[in-house]
């Protein structure tokens, strides 16, 4: 605190919609100014999300247009305040979401800045503003998971999936995770009851076998592509809820004919940004519950794999090629 804020900074700039390969480090990017209700954060760690890949290809609806400073999840110290923000926030260590996290400084809305839990580092809190609320919203307000139910979690070794496995087990569910084979041990160590290969095999048939033919009560569908249909077929008829929260493997569709005659399931879409804006009451409950889960130790401090800022394109490339386990952090 107290250090002078420079006029320019190092930042990773996305130059086109050609993906992470066209993300470049620059050292002359203007430091942004916080507007009304916003704060300026000195970023100590930035979270890498699958959404960063979508933004780099221009497939993230409502995302920024090139050139833009990449990244949207940061953790660090508040060093300047916009108008209307309480002075007590100055110097606070927080994590939050805003544009341009892959940089030395970023602006986030003051109201959405979450305190870093006491004793945690900025890297350890990454995930708390994006992956954890997405996983919890999918499981509870949307998925309605209760003890004794079965939950199918795709990408269970990933940033969002790991949190989902921990929380689903905490709520007493039986967890079936999917992951690439080399990540299975990680998923088992989190407490998952069963782990299936996300790269091959008949997923729906395996889930039906594990559930005595009934299917999963809740499916966290983030795989998309060819796995999308398997998620529908793996859900319990009539009462099974499929929460669609991502499309890592590409777009997929389901028709009205299929919902009536083939997969009689409850299909629910989740977009955290829309949830925050249009259902603040539900989001508030999710964040309150998350803080209780942190206090209870259900969600321990994270241990992200960290990269220097200039290795951001490499980190995103590894995430895109399914080579990563858990959360990734960039250190500016």
Ligand X SMILES: NC(=O)c1ccc[n+]([C@@H]2O[C@H](COP(=O)([O-])OP(=O)(O)OC[C@H]3O[C@@H](n4cnc5c(N)ncnc54)[C@H](OP(=O)(O)O)[C@@H]3O)[C@@H](O)[C@H]2O)c1
CB of 66 to ligand X, least distance (A): 20
Give the single-character DSSP code of 186.
Answer: H
Distance CA 97, CA 274 (A): 13
330 is written with which tokens? 């960039």
CB of 224 to ligand X, least distance (A): 7
Cβ proximity to ligand X, 82 vs 249, nearer residue: 249
Neighbours of 188 (CB within 10 A): 17
CB of 49 to ligand X, least distance (A): 4
Distance CA 154, CA 157 (A): 9
Cβ proximity to ligand X, 34 vs 133, nearer residue: 133
Cβ proximity to ligand X, 135 vs 173, nearer residue: 135
CB of 215 to ligand X, least distance (A): 21
Contact between 179 and 200 (Cβ < 8 Å)? no
Cβ proximity to ligand X, 113 vs 270, nearer residue: 270
The contact set with ligand X (CB under 6 A) reads: 49-51, 130-131, 134, 155, 157-161, 179-180, 183, 198, 222-223, 225, 245-246, 248-249, 270-272, 319, 322, 324
Cβ proximity to ligand X, 51 vs 302, nearer residue: 51
Cβ proximity to ligand X, 78 vs 272, nearer residue: 272
Distance CA 4, CA 27 (A): 17
CB of 3 to ligand X, least distance (A): 32
Distance CA 208, CA 312 (A): 40
CB of 255 to ligand X, least distance (A): 22
Instruction: For residue 60, say if its preceding peptide bond is cis, omega within 30 degrees of 0.
Output: no
Give the single-character DSSP code of 261.
Answer: I
Contact between 12 and 85 (Cβ < 8 Å)? no
Least Cα distance to 111 among 39, 42, 43, 44 occurs for 39
Distance CA 302, CA 74 (A): 14
DSSP for 132-175, written as a single string: HHHHHHIIIIIT---TT-EEEETTTTBHHHHHHHHHHHHTT-EE
Least Cα distance to 135 among 171, 159, 170 occurs for 159
CB of 189 to ligand X, least distance (A): 14
Cβ proximity to ligand X, 214 vs 331, nearer residue: 331
CB of 139 to ligand X, least distance (A): 13
Q: If 0-12 CB within 10 Å is exposed, 13-18 middle and 19+ buried, where does residue 238 land?
A: exposed
CB of 37 to ligand X, least distance (A): 22
Cβ proximity to ligand X, 17 vs 67, nearer residue: 17
Cβ proximity to ligand X, 160 vs 174, nearer residue: 160
């Amino acid at each position: 605190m107290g250090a002078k804020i420079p006029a320019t900074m190092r930042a990773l700039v996305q130059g086109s919609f050609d993906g992470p390969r066209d993300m470049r480090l620059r050292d002359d990017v203007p430091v942004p100014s916080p507007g009304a209700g916003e704060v300026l954060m000195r970023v100590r760690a930035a979270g890498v999300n699958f959404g960063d890949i979508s933004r780099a290809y221009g497939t993230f609806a409502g995302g920024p247009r090139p050139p833009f400073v990449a990244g949207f999840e940061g953790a660090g110290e508040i060093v300047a305040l916009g108008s209307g923000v309480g002075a007590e926030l100055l110097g606070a260590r927080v994590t939050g979401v805003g544009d341009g996290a892959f940089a030395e400084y970023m602006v986030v809305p003051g109201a959405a800045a979450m305190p870093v839990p006491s004793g945690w580092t900025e890297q350890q809190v990454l995930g708390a503003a994006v992956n954890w609320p997405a996983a919890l919203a999918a499981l509870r307000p949307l998925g309605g998971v209760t003890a004794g139910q079965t939950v199918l979690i795709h990408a269970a070794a990933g940033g969002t999936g790991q949190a989902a496995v921990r929380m689903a087990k905490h709520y007493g569910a039986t967890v079936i995770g999917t992951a690439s084979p080399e990540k299975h041990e990680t998923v088992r160590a989190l407490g998952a009851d069963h782990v299936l290969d996300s790269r091959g095999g008949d997923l729906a048939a395996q889930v039906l076998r594990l559930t005595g033919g009934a299917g999963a009560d809740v499916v966290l569908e983030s795989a998309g592509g060819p796995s999308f249909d398997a998620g529908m077929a793996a859900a319990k008829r009539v009462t099974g809820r499929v929460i669609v929260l991502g499309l890592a493997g590409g777009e997929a569709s389901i028709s009205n004919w299929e919902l009536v005659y083939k997969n009689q399931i409850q299909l629910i879409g989740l977009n955290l940004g829309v949830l925050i804006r249009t259902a603040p009451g539900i989001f508030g409950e999710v964040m309150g519950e998350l803080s209780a889960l942190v206090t209870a130790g259900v969600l321990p401090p994270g241990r992200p794999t960290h990269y220097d800022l200039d290795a951001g394109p490499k980190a995103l490339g590894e995430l895109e090629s399914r080579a990563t386990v858990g959360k990734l952090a960039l250190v500016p």
